[in-house]
Amino acid sequence: MTADIRDQLGELIDSYRQLTRHYQSIAEFGQEEVVLIDQGDMESLMDILRQKEEIMADVGKCQEQIGTLQDQIVSHYQLEYFSLNKLAAVIDSAHSDLLENLRKVIKQLIKELEILEKQERIHESMLKNLAREVSKSRARKQAKAGAKAYEKNIGPKSGSDIDLKR
């Protein structure tokens, strides 16, 4: 393995670590989002979503870097595509430490993505429930307003007392 490839693998490991840190930052907002959704504080929730969007821009840059490094490694080893198993088959055992570190950081990244996926499902469910409650509340308010308007239109009018007992 040349020093260039060793450096590229090291950069790839660092890029995966950085990507994992970005996703951890996003996950840290998760609990706060739950509280804000529960409180119906959409303005503060939007602030958090904007912050997460900024982090996602960094995620995109990081993913581009990872893709570039993977392409270089695939090209160097003349692999069909990037795969840890394919890489393990071509890297000599003297450098298995890099491959093991790469496996570890990818495994950690996967764990972080699973956490985010669970959080997002919870948030989505909570937002749907909130939307249903808001919709029901609006419907009740509209029904009350309609009933009041109806009562005003058909209710007794002052000054025109009609004797219905005839």
The pLDDT, as a whole number, for residue 50 is 95
Residue 151: CB atoms within 10 A of its CB come to: 9
pLDDT at 127: 87
pLDDT at 31: 85
CATH class of 3-149: mainly alpha
DSSP string of 99-112, one letter each residue: HHHHHHHHHHHHHH
Residues of the chain with pLDDT under 50: 166
pLDDT in the model for residue 155: 57
Q: Are 17 and 69 in contact (CB under 8 A)?
A: no
Distance CA 58, CA 52 (A): 10
11-35 pLDDT, tens digit per residue, is 999 999 999 999 999 999 988 999 9
Burial class (CB in 10 A: 0-12, 13-18, 19+), 88: middle
Would you state the structure tokens that stand for residue 163, as one six-digit string? Answer: 């004797």
**So where are the chain's domains?**
3-149
Q: What pLDDT, on a 0 to 100 scale, did the predictor assign at position 149?
A: 66
